Amino acid sequence: MSYFSQFRGLPRQVYILCLVRWITGMGSLVFTFSSLILTGMVGLTTGQAGIVAMLYSVSNVIGAIVGGKMADFYGRKRVYLWFTIVTCAFYWIASYCCTTIWVVPLSIVSFFFGAGCYPIVSAMVADSAKGPKSPECFSLLYLCHNLGFAVGPALGGALLANHLPWVYRIQAGMFLLGAIILFKCTEEVYRVPTKEERMAAKARKNAEHFSSDEPESELHVGTLQMLLRTKILLIFIVTLAILTTVYAAIAFILPLQFKDSFGLAAGGTYSGRIWTVNALMVVFGTPIIMKYTKSHHQFNCMALGALLYCIGFGAYGYIKALPLYFVSVVIWSIGEILISTGAGVFIAEHSPASHVARFQSQYDMARSVGRGVGPLLFGQLLMALNYRQVWTINALACIALGAFCWAVYKKEMSKKAKGESV
């Protein structure tokens, strides 16, 4: 039990929120298998599936932004509950037409409202996790999300070929269960500004009089405008989006590669097992790797993670034996942990009180942008190149990203050594 002892003594609310993230992670099935559903069930081409996957991710991006902003203005729990209700309703409707083209617009709406829920949970953790235990709180949140992935995709992969409607229904049920637990068992730590305070804040904004001591005074400052004031965070968000673009190859290319090599049913099963191994690596690797991420700069961790992405992703273009596919999972999963474990803390440390949920939404937004651009890019590349060539291009991009992250890290360390603010 000492292995997880660093997660003891956290606020009770954080444990409940992590449970909610575990349940919703276990229910994240549709997007995981979207390339197989669109090509194997709906009948789209690889290029068309890439375009639809991009639309899915655009809805995720907009949903994360809208959900984060509404949570800052109207409160966490209320917005989370309503977003979940709409999400579940559309997933349930989609389950009745999941092999037709109608599943695309229904899924887009579901992804929009579902994505709006994730930054709200992260913001609630940030509200509750003040002090030296903040890194452990966000690491546990990340761990629980992936613990859900240890079960969910394996179940979804088994149901994919013969019981596809239940993939959508299970996802709806898991999201609803998470919302019930959050609404019943957590408290609203964040104080929602009153209508008068919001109007006064807007008036101060128009008069260009801001007070950094009063969070409400900057409530109406745009997210992009606030990000421009914190350039290191803006660089982080953009870099994370590009890293997620190369990571998206796992969810888009690998299932297609499995399908071509082993057939649709086996391809779905092996794809689910890939995510199960990845999630188990995260569960058991996070407490160990967190010791490194806590004592090193975020961009240092991202540089090392990008290098491991290069090795793990590049191998898929050359290996043939099935067990080696899972060896590569171990390699790139370590890179994922290095990149993701400290991300929430890094954002929280650079977030003003007025923009906590909105800045946390940028993390989900960056990942959604990557998940949208990746399938579109890889779908077009696969129309002209083979799997080996695409994986090689992906690996080279990871090397370039690693070099950039290392350069940013060295520059930040140089500024810190000179006594400048990081």
Query: What whole-number distance in Å separates Cα of residue 357 and Cα of residue 382?
Result: 37
- Return the amino acid letter for 418: K
pLDDT score recorded for residue 421: 47
**Which percentage of the chain shows pLDDT scores above 90?**
24
Distance CA 157, CA 273 (A): 8
Euclidean distance between CA atoms 143 and 158, whole angstroms: 24
Asked if 398 and 306 touch (Cβ cutoff 8 Å), the reply is yes
- Give the span between the Cα atoms of 52 and 386, in whole angstroms: 21
Q: Which of 20-24, 224-228, 386-390, 402-406 has the lowest mean pLDDT?
A: 224-228
pTM of the model as a whole = 0.67
**% of the chain at pLDDT higher than 70:** 81
Higher-pLDDT residue of 61, 93:
93
Q: What are phi and psi of 95, to 5 degrees?
A: -65, -20
Rounded to whole angstroms, the Cα distance separating 108 from 91 reads 10
Count, residues in the chain: 422
Q: Which token pair is 364? A: 């989900």
Q: Which is nearest to 119 in space by CA: 383, 358, 403, 405? A: 358
CB 116 within 8 A of CB 207: no
Q: Yes or no: say if 142 and 268 are a contact pair by the CB < 8 Å rule.
A: no
CA distance 337 to 301: 9
Written as six digits, the tokens of 166 are 């239940």
Q: What is the pLDDT of residue 404?
A: 95
What's the pLDDT band for 177 if we cut at 50, 70, 90?
very high
- In a 13 Å sphere around the CA of 158, the CA atoms on its Cβ side amount to 7
Q: Which of 199, 254, 391, 377 is nearest to 311 (CA)?
A: 391
Q: What's the pLDDT score for residue 210?
A: 43
Tens-digit pLDDT profile for residues 108-155: 999 899 888 888 888 888 788 766 677 778 778 877 877 776 677 667
> Is 202's pLDDT higher than 70?
no
Beta carbons within 10 angstroms of residue 392's beta carbon: 17
Give the separation between CA 261 and CA 267, rounded to whole angstroms: 8
Give the residue with greater pLDDT, 216 vs 225.
225
Residues 6+ apart with CB under 8 A from 195: none
Which of 42-46, 226-230, 241-245 has the largest mean confidence? Answer: 241-245
What's the CA gap between 271 and 277, in Å, rounded?
10
Judge contact between 79 and 182, C-beta under 8 A: no
Domains parsed from the chain with CATH numbers: 2-188+223-417 (1.20.1250.20)
Residue 256 backbone phi and psi in degrees, to 5: -65, -40
368-411: pLDDT as tens digits: 777 778 877 888 888 888 999 999 999 999 999 999 999 999 98
pLDDT at position 126 is: 79
Average pLDDT over residues 14-20: 91
Quick: pLDDT tens for 251-271: 888 888 888 877 766 777 787
pLDDT reported for residue 389: 93
- Exposed / middle / buried, residue 410 (Cβ in 10 Å: 0-12, 13-18, 19+): middle
Confidence of residue 332 (pLDDT cuts 50, 70, 90): very high
φ and ψ at residue 64, rounded to 5 degrees? -65, -40
Report the distance separating Cα 325 and Cα 316, nearest Å: 7
As a whole number of angstroms, the distance between CA 258 and CA 268 comes to 8
